[in-house]
A = this chain, B = another copy of it.
């Protein structure tokens, strides 16, 4: 009443605590989900803001513009995934067991990080222009290839792996299987049915993928 009446043009504003880091983290988390769900052009700044504890203004205050926010989301996503890739302890396993474990792990890991997969899909739609601009992404060359190289060398020393294996190409093949499994699930199941999407389908597929990769590196028993 009286208090209300006194609100000339400017009204009473609520009080608030400052917590910049939490606000930034909040924005990044929601932005990641929104970009993963709708892509760069499909995501809406207003929608990101709404799902945040803060306002649209703060998004541009901290992240300059939409594209820059997207880039930071990408960088964080790559950072997170790479962090989670470590410590498989493959050194104590024989080469075949190590490879099996690595492939199975990658299969599950991709499944469990669908948002990351989707961000990479989106980035490929944009022809990788944003990852190309990010030094931090280009620099942190995923350690998986190094692990593979080590496994391959041990297998070759033991004479059970072929001599013409390119670790990068091997990594490519593993990635192709594990990535495609998540990235193309939607269209594949619409066209060919849900057979491979079910739990048993995925189990069968994982076993097949692991076997296929292992067979591709073993020396052909003459």
Interface residues of A (CB under 8 A from B): 38-42, 118, 120-128, 131-132, 137-138, 141-142, 145, 166, 168-169, 171-173, 175-177, 179-181, 183-192, 195-196, 204-205, 208-209, 211-213, 215-216, 220-221
| Residues from chain B with Cβ under 8 Å of A189 in the complex | 128
SS class, residues of chain A in contact with chain B: helix
Q: How long is the Cα–Cα vector from A1 to B137 in the complex, in angstroms?
A: 64
Nearest-neighbour CB distance to chain B for A138, whole angstroms, equals 6
Shortest 6 CB-CB distances between A and B: which pairs? A128-B186, A176-B180, A41-B42, A212-B216, A41-B41, A128-B190
Q: How long is the Cα–Cα vector from A145 to B145 in the complex, in angstroms?
A: 33
| Residues from chain B with Cβ under 8 Å of A141 in the complex | 191-192
Q: How long is the Cα–Cα vector from A185 to B126 in the complex, in angstroms?
A: 11
| Residues from chain B with Cβ under 8 Å of A172 in the complex | 188, 196, 205
Nearest-neighbour CB distance to chain B for A211, whole angstroms, equals 7
Q: Nearest CB to that of A127 among chain B residues?
A: B186
| Residues from chain B with Cβ under 8 Å of A137 in the complex | 190-191
Jot down 26 A-B pairs with beta carbons below 8 A, ordered by A.
Answer: A38-B41, A39-B39, A39-B41, A42-B42, A121-B125, A121-B183, A122-B125, A123-B187, A125-B125, A128-B186, A128-B187, A128-B189, A131-B186, A138-B190, A138-B191, A141-B192, A145-B192, A168-B196, A171-B192, A172-B205, A173-B208, A176-B180, A180-B180, A183-B183, A212-B216, A215-B216
A177 and B187 contacting across the interface, CB-CB below 8 Å: no
Q: Nearest CB to that of A118 among chain B residues?
A: B125
Q: How long is the Cα–Cα vector from A39 to B127 in the complex, in angstroms?
A: 12
Q: How long is the Cα–Cα vector from A141 to B193 in the complex, in angstroms?
A: 10
B39 and A191 contacting across the interface, CB-CB below 8 Å: no
| Residues from chain B with Cβ under 8 Å of A221 in the complex | 221
Q: How long is the Cα–Cα vector from A208 to B196 in the complex, in angstroms?
A: 25
| Residues from chain B with Cβ under 8 Å of A177 in the complex | 173, 176-177
A184/B120 contact (C-beta < 8 A), A137-B191, A169-B204, A173-B177 known: yes
A208/B127 contact (C-beta < 8 A), A39-B41, A175-B184 known: no
| Residues from chain B with Cβ under 8 Å of A187 in the complex | 120, 123-124, 128, 131
